[in-house]
Amino acid sequence: MADITLLEAAKHSKDDLEAAVAKIIVESSPILERLPFRTINGPAYRYNKERSLGTISFRGVGGSYTPDAGVINP
């Protein structure tokens, strides 16, 4: 996957409305002009999100511990 800017994506868009909206966004926000955007294949980009983190605690040298893990949702 290649990273391109929003303005470059607008130049290569086949949809005139999509290109026009992208140009308006770039003109109104200089920050969005510089951010890289990633081209994806398909209707959505899948990622994981942490639902909860595992717990932490201190233990003495040679002491016992209870293993714990967080929950990650797709």
Q: Comparing C-alpha atoms, which of 38, 69, 44 is closest to residue 55?
A: 69
> Which residue is associated with the tokens 């016992």?
64
Q: Does residue 25 contact residue 17 with C-beta atoms inside 8 Å? A: no
State the chain's mean pLDDT as an integer: 79
Tell whether the model's pLDDT for residue 1 goes beyond 70.
no
Mean pLDDT across the stretch 8-34?
76
Tell whether the model's pLDDT for residue 56 goes beyond 80.
yes
Q: Output the pTM of the full model.
A: 0.38
Q: Convert 51-69 to b/e letters by CB count within 10 Å (16 or more is b).
A: eeeeeeeeeeeeeeeeeee
Mean pLDDT across the stretch 44-54?
85
Tell whether the model's pLDDT for residue 42 goes beyond 60.
yes
pLDDT for the residue numbered 68: 85
